[in-house]
Amino acid sequence: MSDNIKNKKPKTLAKKMGIALSFGVIVGLIFMFLRESLLKSDYSYIWDIINNILFQDISVAEGTNSIGLFYILGQLFINSLQLVIVPLIFSSIALSMCQIKDTKKFGRIAGKTVSNFLIMYILALALACVLGLIADNLSMFKVEINGISSSEATSSSSNPLMIILDAVPNNFLSVFTTNSRVLSIVFLAIITGICINKLDDKILVIKNVLEDVNSIVSEFLSFIINKFSPIAIFILISRTFAIYGIEHLKPAISYMLVTTIGCVIFFILGYPSYIYIKTKLNPFIFIKKISKVALLGVSAASSAAALSLNEKTCEEELGINKEIISFTLPLGMTVNMNGTAIMQVIATVFIASSAGYNVTFFNIILISFLALMASIGTPSIPGSSTIILFSILTAMGYNNEASLIAYSLIIAINRPMDMLVTALNVVGDAGTALIVSKSENNLNEEIYKRQIK
């Protein structure tokens, strides 16, 4: 009886999220075509009113006098999830380090996690290279791009290797004041947990505090996700479709198509094949159960926002050991960005080709290496991938006026692509946790095989 009650929540939540996604797409498309119709007529002021009341981003200058109801509600949900990113990551990883008494075991888990991340990256990049070369050879990216300006096109870039330096902070407290230093937080959490583990009974208060913080965060997230995630998904999806007009999508339909094909292939073939090879488990059970995490990743376009639901699903529905989850998922949120890597390779090839550069096989390999380095350092927040993309363009020397216009176009249509690649990223984190847990013989296969219809 208790098992039925326990299984009812995930089942109901998944259905609600699926329904919310469907309605969000329908309502968003209705608003998109309404927008096109009104802007092409003498009634554009009607769209301005609708946009100001429902969709306008009130954080920018254009939204000073707007209500932006959908923007506010969607941002409140995302902010609520991002609010606990730092305490969630720090407390969960530090506690998992405390529980590992065998230091060799920790080294083994870390090694397996990182090696699987790297293999998934290589597979994703190989697929992106093949698709990029095919698209370039078929002249799919030889598109005519009219001038689309964006201030972000001149954003400053930094060496992708800076992520190595940023991982070890020079100020303990400064790391906890922002969500963009996740890799540093992971490093501090590991060190703190190992030191507590080493000192054992000499350290009592901090360990208890971490356990209390972790419990508070878990309770808060369960409430937010169970009560508000379906509504938030509807709001976020419908707003995304409503604010992007058709004129933004037409010039880059080829880029969007190739990126979508790459992500879909990796999702339905790449992950399942790799999971089956490594675990011999039915991979489609994994895909079915992790789908609601992917939906949240799609709607929020943020791996960080999907972290809590990912942890909950991995433990309660996939049977993955909590020790593995606490280490693998927060680390994967920062360094395992398969979807982002695919997007950055294809986007770079698109920009180079449309700007008149000759894209050779060697160029593709170099772009892939830079994409790997840049993806590892990509903050798990909406829109960050396009900023990191600029560092790849700079490193490759793609900096003429046409390439900046093409880059501006990528920014203009970033949101739908960001949503897509985020789904791939969060699924990859969960897949790695499953593989590592299975290899450590602590996967609860009874929970994993339990069907959710």
Say yes or no: 273 and 395 in one domain: yes
Integer Cα distance of 424 and 313 in angstroms: 16
pTM for this prediction: 0.65
Say yes or no: 277 and 342 in one domain: yes
Half-sphere exposure of 68 (CA within 13 A, CB side): 19
CA angle 338, 368, 111 (to 5 degrees): 55
Q: Which pLDDT does position 150 carry in this prediction?
A: 36
**Chain segment 366-413, per-residue pLDDT in tens:** 888 877 766 665 555 555 566 667 767 777 778 776 777 677 667 656
Question: Which amino acid, 336?
Answer: N
Q: Is residue 307 part of a domain?
A: yes
Say yes or no: 45 and 134 in one domain: no
Q: Is residue 240 part of a domain?
A: no
Integer Cα distance of 108 and 360 in angstroms: 39
CB 373 within 8 A of CB 396: no
Say yes or no: 11 and 155 in one domain: no
Say yes or no: 72 and 111 in one domain: no
Domain count within the chain:
2
- Looking at 77, 111, 142, the residue that finishes a domain is 77
- Looking at 34, 62, 77, the residue that finishes a domain is 77
Say yes or no: 69 and 135 in one domain: no
* CA 351 distance to own-chain centroid: 23
Note down pLDDT in tens along the chain; length 453 residues.
334 434 445 456 667 777 887 888 888 889 888 888 888 887 888 988 998 898 888 888 888 888 989 989 988 887 887 787 788 778 877 877 776 666 677 778 888 988 998 999 899 999 999 998 888 888 777 655 444 433 333 333 455 566 677 778 888 888 888 766 766 887 888 888 888 888 877 887 888 888 888 888 878 877 887 788 788 888 887 887 787 656 555 556 788 889 989 999 999 899 999 999 999 999 989 998 898 888 887 777 677 778 888 888 898 899 998 888 888 888 787 678 888 889 888 988 888 887 778 888 888 888 888 777 666 655 555 555 666 677 677 777 787 767 776 776 676 566 677 778 888 889 999 999 999 999 988 888 888 988 765
Q: Is residue 110 part of a domain?
A: yes
Say yes or no: 381 and 436 in one domain: yes
Q: Is residue 197 part of a domain?
A: no
Q: Which pLDDT does position 123 carry in this prediction?
A: 92
Q: Which pLDDT does position 392 carry in this prediction?
A: 76
Domain that holds residue 368: 103-163+246-449
- Within 10 A of 318 (CB to CB), how many other CB atoms are there? 24
Q: Is residue 19 part of a domain?
A: yes
Say yes or no: 45 and 146 in one domain: no
Half-sphere exposure of 381 (CA within 13 A, CB side): 15
Q: Is residue 220 part of a domain?
A: no
Say yes or no: 31 and 113 in one domain: no
CB neighbour class for 287 (10 Å; exposed up to 12, middle 13-18, buried from 19): middle
Q: What is the DSSP string of 100-160?
A: ---HHHHHHHHHHHHHHHHHHHHHHHHHHHHHHHHHHHTTTT---------GGGG-----T
Say yes or no: 18 and 156 in one domain: no
Integer Cα distance of 312 and 223 in angstroms: 12
Q: Is residue 71 part of a domain?
A: yes
Say yes or no: 320 and 431 in one domain: yes
Q: Is residue 181 part of a domain?
A: no
Q: Is 267 helix (H, G, I), strand (E, B) or coil?
A: helix
Say yes or no: 400 and 363 in one domain: yes
Q: Among residues 88, 142, 59, which one has the least CA distance to residue 303?
A: 88
CATH number at residue 250: 1.10.3860.10
